[in-house]
Amino acid sequence: MAKITYIEFNGTEHVVEVPNGLTVMEGARDNGIPGIEADCGGACACSTCHVYVAPDWVEKLPAKDPMEEDMLDFAYQPDAARSRLTCQLRVSDDLDGLVVHMPEKQI
């Protein structure tokens, strides 16, 4: 289980424990955290679970695969270094302490 901090665009923080094996997107969905819409349900077919990963976490996460890279082109104001789709981040003990920031809106 990993403790993940989701920070809304307005600065509101939500710290939740997410079971290993789920995705960061599922952790937000299951805990009612606003700002991650996940319209495609985690199929990497949209960009509505886009977040900005805290700078100190960028290098700790697995690399983006080509499908995630393509979908991030459709995200609201993507950042080449920090943008990730939370449906592509599988939770493990290695993600304990992860901090993600939601964009102003999802598109």
| Mean pLDDT across 11-39 | 97
What CATH number is given for 2-101 in this structure?
Answer: 3.10.20.30
Minimal CA–CA distance to 103: which of 27, 31, 23, 34?
34
- Edge-to-edge strand ranges of the sheet holding 83-85: 13-18, 2-7, 99-101, 50-53, 83-85
Dump pLDDT digits (tens) for 47-84.
999 999 999 999 999 999 999 999 999 999 999 999 99
In the prediction, which pLDDT does 87 show? 98
Q: Parallel, antiparallel, or unpaired: how do β-strands 99-101 and 50-53 relate?
A: antiparallel
Q: How many CA atoms lie within 13 A of 104 on its CB side?
A: 3
pTM over 0.95: yes
Segments making up each domain of the chain, as ranges: 2-101
In the prediction, which pLDDT does 31 show? 97
